[in-house]
Amino acid sequence: MFDGIATHYDLLNHLLSFNIDSTWRRKAVHCLKCNPANVLDLATGTGDLAILLAKHYPHAHITGIDLSEKMLELGRKKIQKKRLENRISLLQGDAQKLPFNNGSFDALTVAFGVRNFENMEKSLYEMRRVLKPGAKAVILEFSLPKKQPIKTLYLFYFHRILPRLGKLISKSKNAYQYLPRSVDSFPNPEAFEQKLLQYGFKNCIRQQLSGGIAQLYSAHVADGRDNN
């Protein structure tokens, strides 16, 4: 599905979110508040977050992982254009079976990817496994607003307008019907925080963005990662 919309993915992200997604990604980068040497960006897509990370943390090497090779191809072109080939590596891989040793990374980011993982529990375990003790994970994900009138406006746009615009531009009917379905079925923010704690993270902090349209989660790897 993501291979099929790859060429329109960046345009649609910015257009359908009124470019608010760029602001959210910048907040995720600043949320790390550390000086990492090696950062893993899961569900990296076309590399937007990886590029921001490389610019903000000039001494870090960023590894981006995604299942969609066509998305990665576009990401590599952007990275080459910005002359960041020595700072960012994009690899095809599955979040449920990450090709890295235990404790390989100082930090980890995921932007709008966790809800797409086929098995979220396996992916959370893998995220914890590849992080060093005390390392930080930052997760940016959509959520459903609770307050009115933003809830009503958001649901109307998300379920009625967005799928039609997405289909018109991308020529893919399923992709932009899938988006609201995936958000609807994702655990609520409190439940997702509990998932993080269950799979070996601690000190979970959540920041609500744009009235609850998105959530920014941060947490650290608990000591004794293999005790679960």
Nearest to 43 by CA among 30, 28, 56: 28
Residues 1-44: pLDDT tens digits? Answer: 555 554 555 555 555 565 788 899 999 999 998 889 999 999 99
Q: Quick one: pLDDT band at residue 157, thresholds 50, 70, 90?
A: confident
Looking at the DSSP bridge assignments, the partners of residue 62 are: 39, 88
Which residue's structure tokens are 């994009």?
Answer: 90
Q: 125 or 15: whose pLDDT is higher?
A: 125
Specify the pLDDT at position 227: 44
Indicate the fold that domain 2-144+187-227 takes in CATH. Rossmann fold (3.40.50)
Dist CA 26 CA 96 (whole Å): 26
Q: Whole-number mean pLDDT of the chain?
A: 87
Report whether pLDDT(60) > 60.
Answer: yes
Structure-block tokens of residue 137: 């994970």
Report whether pLDDT(165) > 60.
Answer: yes
Residues 71-98: pLDDT tens digits? Answer: 899 999 999 999 999 999 999 999 999 9
The three-state secondary structure class of 212 is helix
Interior/surface letters 203-219, b for 16+ CB within 10 angstroms, e for the rest? ebebeebbebbbbbbbb
Is pTM beyond 0.85? Reply is: yes
Specify the pLDDT at position 1: 53
Dist CA 137 CA 222 (whole Å): 11
In the chain, the percentage of residues whose pLDDT exceeds 70 is 84
Q: 222 or 220: whose pLDDT is higher?
A: 220
Q: Quick one: pLDDT band at residue 228, thresholds 50, 70, 90?
A: very low
Report whether pLDDT(159) > 70.
Answer: yes
Specify the pLDDT at position 129: 97
